[in-house]
């Protein structure tokens, strides 16, 4: 099996490769988004804690 035949996917490459791309995108978003939300939450909690200690 050559690389060209693998990439061509038996004529179904137009359907297979975008499906792989969408799947990879969803996996990356499912990893990155919670990390960013956690950082934002920790920032907000730190600010609230500093405000309550200042009182």
pLDDT band at 55 (very low <50, low <70, confident <90, very high): confident
The answer, yes or no, to whether residue 1 has pLDDT greater than 80, is no
**What is the model's pLDDT at position 2?**
87
pLDDT band at 3 (very low <50, low <70, confident <90, very high): confident
Percent of the chain with pLDDT over 90: 78
Per-residue DSSP letter, 12: T
Sign, CA dihedral 6-27-39-37, equals positive
Average per-residue pLDDT in the chain?
94
């Amino acid at each position: 099996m050559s690389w060209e035949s693998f990439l061509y996917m038996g004529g179904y490459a137009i359907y297979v490769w975008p499906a792989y791309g969408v799947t990879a995108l969803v996996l990356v978003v499912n990893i990155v988004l919670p990390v960013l939300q956690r950082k934002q939450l920790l920032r907000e909690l730190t600010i609230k804690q500093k405000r309550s200690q200042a009182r």
